[in-house]
Structure 1
Amino acid sequence: MATILIIEDDMTIHSLIKETLDLHGFKTLSAYSGTEGKLLFEQNQVDIVLLDLMLPGMNGEEFLQEIRHNSTVPVIVISAKIDQNSKLDLLTNGADDYIIKPFDVKELLARIQIQLRHASKASGSSMKAIHYKNISVNLDTREVKINDHTLHLTGREYAILLLFLENPQKVFSRANIYESVWNEPFFDSDKTINMHISNLRNKLNSDHTSYIKTVWGIGFKFD
């Protein structure tokens, strides 16, 4: 049974989410501020966080920044902000998905299941670790290191890195990466892949080695 932390201060929306998740067999934890959410996150084993942005005390962006120092637990932002820049900023800063209010509970459930399937796939590997050049990944703890320096990756960045590490030298198109990691059809106008690749590339370049190569007109490969 997956444990989902709901951080939402609107009582009506919070109750709707909680009742839906309870009905579908999830265990839920409820927080009505970012500060309360952070405390519950630290005290419990959480599988997914559903995060509002406009919260009393610590807001959603601050909460996300705090937990991303040492956690890759999937975070789905639920917000009334509809502009593309807000969405891209949140994805850049560690969110794994973004759903706009008002939302369909069936869509929310589908997005939760996608995150759970991806997390299960990553943790279900028979291997305990992956090593490639100076990179090491502990598949149990999801800790990523380069030369013993820990990298703080978002859930999407971690998933993309595993895809590359499991298929070194293979060239992936943006559609390949999106459909493998997001488990959704790829739309050519979506710039999300380029943003996540750029962020991952910058983090991996901490030892001044270029791991992700651009194959012009096709996509990317790990070298």
Structure 2
Amino acid sequence: MRVLLVEDDRELRTTLRDALQVEGYTVQTAASLSEGRALMQHDHAPDLVLLDLGLPDGEGEQLLAELRRSKGTPVLVISARHQDGSKVRLLDAGADDYLVKPFSIGELLARMRVAMRHRGTLLRPAITRYEREGLLVDLAAHRVELNGQEQHLTPTEFKLLARLVRSAGQVVTHRALLSDVWGPEFTEHTQYLRLYMGQLRAKLEAEPADPQRLLTEPGVGYRLVEAL
């Protein structure tokens, strides 16, 4: 799911972007009203917008009004302004929710899921920590351990494993893996998937030729066995 984050505070923007990416979201960021407008016109429009109010070149409320005239994209306002009048006005203007800074990442993720559920899209909380039979994967810490020993994965290997971790116990199709790890233009390049899955198995399976963790679903995709 694509999220547009419009926030002029660089530190907060980076923190939120990194946290959302760990959860599996594709995040575009904008530091101003004009950047936000430009990204909204992009071919890959976001599925949800996180919108600060006080921006260097105007009020986020302006972007909210523009979105409500042309799109039904969910908008969550994130602001340090805590006055009830401001909250009520923005909610009446079409914001799906209003979070007052500071807020926890957990609360933000929950509010995002609620906003999408109201649009008919059910989002389950992503798995970001996986542990089973000596294998530990911590997506937030970007760490993989096998029997207590840290495993060094390439960036692509880690992205592939992370995608499987977020759906542990479920089959992820070839197309979904190729799109999420390499990009939508690579959905037919199954040879990439076979190559990198082989590399992951060589590092994480006791017997790579007889995998017990990273399983193949013939003709469909791959599945990481469910965490204990």
Q: Is the 8 A contact 2:7 2:32 kept in 1?
A: yes
Secondary structure at 1:77 match in 2? strand
For structure 2, the residue ranges without an aligned partner over 5 or more in a row are 123-228
Match of 2:30 in 1: 31
Secondary structure at 2:58 match in 1? coil
Match of 2:89 in 1: 89
TM-score (norm 2): 0.51
Equivalences, count? 121
Q: Is the 8 A contact 1:33 1:59 kept in 2?
A: no
- State the one-letter code of the partner of 1:27: T
Match of 1:3 in 2: 2
TM-score (norm 1): 0.52
Name the CA shift for 1:19/1:121 in 2 (closer, same or farther; >3 Å).
closer
Secondary structure at 2:77 match in 1? strand
- State the one-letter code of the partner of 1:56: P
- State the one-letter code of the partner of 2:62: E
Deviation of 1:13 after TM superposition, in Å, equals 0.7
Equivalent runs, 1:95-174 vs 2, <5 Å: 95-121=95-121
RMSD value over aligned CA atoms?
A: 1.3
Match of 1:57 in 2: 57
Match of 2:16 in 1: 17
State how far apart, in whole Å, the 2-side matches of 1:120 and 1:39 are.
27
For structure 1, the residue ranges without an aligned partner over 5 or more in a row are 123-223
Deviation of 1:121 after TM superposition, in Å, equals 4.6
User: Percent of counterpart pairs with the same letter?
Assistant: 40
Deviation of 1:63 after TM superposition, in Å, equals 1.0
Moved over 3 A (4+): none
State how far apart, in whole Å, the 2-side matches of 1:16 and 1:86 are.
25
- State the one-letter code of the partner of 2:3: I
State how far apart, in whole Å, the 1-side matches of 2:91 and 2:36 are.
19
State how far apart, in whole Å, the 2-side matches of 1:121 and 1:52 are.
24
Rg larger for = 2
Match of 1:131 in 2: none
Q: Is the 8 A contact 1:51 1:78 kept in 2?
A: yes
State how far apart, in whole Å, the 1-side matches of 2:78 and 2:95 are.
10
Q: Is the 8 A contact 1:75 1:96 kept in 2?
A: yes
- State the one-letter code of the partner of 1:119: R
Match of 2:191 in 1: none
Show CA shifts across 1:49-98 (max 9, x none).
00000001132011111121111100000000101100000011111100
Name the CA shift for 1:29/1:81 in 2 (closer, same or farther; >3 Å).
same
Show CA shifts across 1:144-184 (max 9, x none).
xxxxxxxxxxxxxxxxxxxxxxxxxxxxxxxxxxxxxxxxx
Answering whether residue 73 of structure 2 is matched by residue 45 of structure 1, we say no
